[in-house]
Every structure is written in structure tokens, then in C-alpha cells.
Structure 1
């Protein structure tokens, strides 16, 4: 035993008996400490290939946040903070401008529920440099099963993200995989074979995974769409891809058809090109629109008033966008004078938070791209009314130049 420690124990002892007892207790504590340190070292060695850093915090999640009670050497190497600088602080020392609040909110929600969390976002080292930190966080419990601390296994995955070999979005955690499964998508190889698909795609068409193994993707569509699909996927060339979604009509296993709109992307995984198609159910969308139309008709019958108004936009000689026509429905719905819109545009007619959305939709329309947005128009009583507003380009006699943009704003209704 170190002589300085023996001297301190001697000073704290009132006699030889108490001195002997203190040495015995110290030796026992030192032995326990050595055993725990070895176990911790073995644990760190076991996971060092999967994680760069280990961080343990207290339970309290309220501001200023859970205090750090332990970091390993990997944490110091990854972040630049020494153990002394990190202990007593909160993991917020790693956060900054680009740290995704959505991920942090989801993290806190999971921890409040006592659940594990997996995710990643941008963090910052002591020197201010950015890195993408992946967390695998789990609760630590006592012998009564009560959560006492949180342990976070961390890894810098910046290099991996830059290789374009990551399949999932940077904000995706395990819980979000459930939400992701509600979307409809399928993965193909470069010859059009179905590698995998999510439950939504299988359930929509009525096939199981084994049945898909023997089917080319173009075997699932009507004859009119087979050629386009074969040209695109039988020998995949990214240069052939169009930016706009592809509308295809799929045949379900029971013989019924469903129209889907596919957005095609691709990525590289283990040096293999994977084509991923995200689908939007056009048939479902059309049923929703029909429901909206029925509700629109019912509203007109019930209240006998306008539920939409029309605007027409042009670009003047100075290159500025202005409104040259506003239908009478605008006054019927908002109670305001349409001349104000004609004179000043929509900047004073809509909610300030929605102005940029409308401006972007107008820019697209004058470029020849139709779109629809949700926005709010001011009313005479100082309130706002929500509308779905469409923007459609009107071409001149040459069929190429957009001379004006027709915009229809329809009162937004709920769909049963």
C-alpha cells in the first residue's frame, strides 16, 4: 500500500485497532475497485469495434439536462473533451446549430417512456468541428428494476455518411421505421428483379415476399406500362431517370388494378446499385378529391355561398409578379376588397408565414410547373381561413411561353 495513504489512515485512527481496521477496509475497497475497473475495461474492449465512445448520464431529463457521470477514453478521442471537462456537464456540450431538434425531441420522448433509442445527427467537437454522431442509448436499472442512469454508446459515422452507402435517412430511428413502413416502396436490382419491399407495398398488391422473388417489376403492371418499365429497369441507366414521378397502373393479385405514382431513386450498398421506388397511391388520392368535391357541393347547398375564388397572376414589364384579376368569391369568403389584392398582390392578403410558400408556387408556375399549397387568407373580422390553393400555368399562342398563372383557392375541408 502507498506510504502516503498509510500515513493518512494513521492520522485518521485513534489507536492501533482502528488503524488496522481502516487498512483492512481500504484494501477491500481497493480490491473491489480493481475488479470493477477490469470488468469495465473488458466491456469497453468488447464493444470498441462497434462504438467509439461510451457516455453515462444521470436519470434527470429536465433542464439543464442529465449530468454526465462517466465517459471513456473513446469519448475524449472522438470529441476532444477531457474527462474532467465532460463530467458534471450535460450532453448539450456536443450540440450546435445543425443539431436536428426533431431527433433530440424524439430522443427525449423515448427516454421519458423508459425506452431505448437509436439515431444520429450532427454534433460538435470541442474545437467546433462538425461530425455525425450515432447514438445507441439504453436505460440502466438497479436490482429493483428502477431506471437510475442512461448509457449511450456512440460512434462517429461521418465518413460512412459521405460514401452514399447509407440506406436510411439521417433522422431515422428505430421507432420511425414503423412510420417508414406506412409508406409504399420497393427495392429492385439493375435488371428489374424485386429485392425487397415493405409491408405496405405487399399488402397493397396482395402478394407475399416469396411470390415477389420470381416476379420482374414490369410483370406487375398493365400492358400499356410494361414497355416503359422494361426500358427503364431491364438494364438500368441513371441517365434515363426523369425528375417527375412515373404514373403506372399495377395489377393486384385479385385482378383489380390500382394507379400508383412512382418516384425513382437509387443508392449504392456493398458496391451494388439498388433502385428504390417510393409510390404515391393515385387511386386513393382521387377518392379523396371526390370526397372533397362532394363536401364542397354539400357546403354550397347548405350555406348557399361561395367556397372558392379565382386569381390570375401576370409578370409586368419590370419583371414583377402582380395580380390582374380576383373573382367575386374572394369578397364573399373573406369580406375584403379585391382591389387591395390587385393593387398590392397577396402579400397583405395572406398569413405572413404562408407568403413564401405562395411565392415559390408562383415561381414554379411561371416556369411551367403546376402545384398546390395549403395557406391561410385574412378575413375582415381579423381571423384567417384555410384554403387549398392551386397554381396552373396558362401558355400563350406559341404553346411554350407562360403568359399568366390561374390560381384557384378552395376552402379546406376535412375528409371523412
Structure 2
């Protein structure tokens, strides 16, 4: 089993950080790279002319590696919401069709479609949170509902951010294909941890940021765009999205045709000399550990916690229905007031999400962290 990687982070022993699903700490290596990058920005005359391009392509390759994609199918973007807006500009949702979203899914894969629905003549249908925690079956029931309007698009997370519900995107994709419908996956809570092969899945779009499970900075995200959509018009018009618009040319606008792959969708102002390298390092570390090894370690920790809290009157999704790296706990009635804050006062950090407690360990956590959390939670619930 992959050992705890705590020594690669600056996490004091008295800190029990179980909140990677909100944001992760930076590895020491990433932090040092950020400091060095700030120094480079302070002295830009020291930058080699090829430096920027090398940074873009390193990050693009690192993101592609996580989902078994071709780097040419990856665009550099600042956020998931930017990616969804890009997708919404590229595709056309047929009038009279449905866009399927999840109840209380994060705002990014939902709000863009709600804004566009009335003007474009489609409806947004929400899959209610299933009582049994089986999101996949609930989505399939909506998609395949007899007599319902055709589905144009499912815009869903691969792991529900609030309860850790695991969604079988392969099964969802198969159902959508039978209707000729598209699939957009917000992989924020799964990229780098859970295996995804876009060659096999054949989604239309996959989007993820780096500041959570990928151990990176804010403001860096990536979108996979299937080749069938790469002829669309980008959200922003940039020189590098065109074949030959260059300051060093004698004629600036020499060739206004778009570049032929997903690079045309790169965000404007992409010269993030500081955070781009930081993002690459975290993604490369995750890929080097391997998704199988990471899942094995994190499922061991969440299973250990789930086993040890039995008898406290808490509810958790069935192991087969939850993501292996997120454990969401429900309370009889409501969560005790001040519980999250009380744990934080002891150096134990978890998150409250929609009335539940979300525990999200990462590779820097170990069995000591898991046992300490259980002991503190038990004491506070019994007091």
C-alpha cells in the first residue's frame, strides 16, 4: 500500500487535516517552485523565450495524463465555471430537450444551463438526491424516463461534492448515447484519484481544477474537449488561438484561422508563470503515485473511520455507493451546533456540507489522523 506522504508537506503532527475536498495544502516541492517563480516574475529579463510555451505544454500533458487524453484535446482555463461556459458556447441544446443536472450539485455545472434555458428553449431537469444514496440509478431513471422530452445534455459531477456519492459515468454515458445526448463531467472531486479514460468513456467535456485533490493552486483548471467539438468558437478571442497572429511578424494578423485543436480554447492571459508550474507539479505527483495506489490508501482511511464510528448514531452512504476518498456523515435530526468549530479548536479539520459532515483525507493523512478524529468526534457527541 502507498505509505502516508506526510513528510512531503508542512503539516505539524498536531494538525489533523481531513478537508481535501475543500482545498488541499501544497506539497513542499510545489511551494518552493512557487517561490522560485515569484523570483522569475520579479526579473522577467531572465526568462528564456521558450519558457512560457514549455509551461503551457507541461501543464497540458500533466492534465491529459490524469484522464488518458491526448494533450491536444486539453485547454488551459481558470475555473470549472469558465469551462462550462466554454462548453455552452460550443454546443447547441435542441429546443424542447432537457439538460439533466443533480440536486444540490455544485453551482458550476448547473447555473450556466439555468441562465440559458428560457432563451434557448430547453428545460433543466434536476435529479433529486436519492434516499438510498444511489445517484447512478436515480440519474438513469430520469434520463430513460418513458415519454419524457429527449435529453440534450447531462451536466453532472462524477462525485457529488456534498455527500461523496459516486456516479457511474460509464453507465450514464451509455444511456445518453442511446438518445444521442451529450455528457459534461465536472471531475473536480475525482480527477487524479479515480480512474477515468476519456478514450473509453467518450464524454463531450471533462473539466477539473487543481486546488483540491490535485495538490495545486487556485485559478488553474483544465477542460477536455472531444474532437467533434473542437471546431467551435472559443469563449475568448486570443492571438494564440489563431494560426499566425504574432507580435514578431511583420504583419500581425497574418492568418486568422483558428488553431485546429483544443488549444484554441485556452483562456486569455494564460501567462501564469507562477501558478502554472505549481499546478503541473501536483498533477505529476498524483499520476506518479497512481490512481490505484491513491484509492487504496484513501479508502483504507475512510473505511477505518466508518467502521470506528459505528454505535454513534450516525449514517453514512453504503460503501458501494460512495467515493472511496470521501465519507459523508448524517445526523439524527441535525448536526450539533458548534461541532465543526469544536473539532477545529482541537486541530481537526472537516467540513459541514448541506447538514452533513464531510471527511476527505488525502495522501498526507495516516491512521493516527483517522483514530484521532474518531476519538474526538466520539467524545463530543457523547458529552
Kindly indicate whether structure 1 or structure 2 has the higher relative contact order, using CA contacts under 8 Å at least 6 residues apart: 2
Regarding TM over 0.5, the answer is no
Name the one with the larger strand percent. Answer: 1
Rg larger in structure: 1
TM-score (norm 2): 0.21
TM-score (norm 1): 0.20
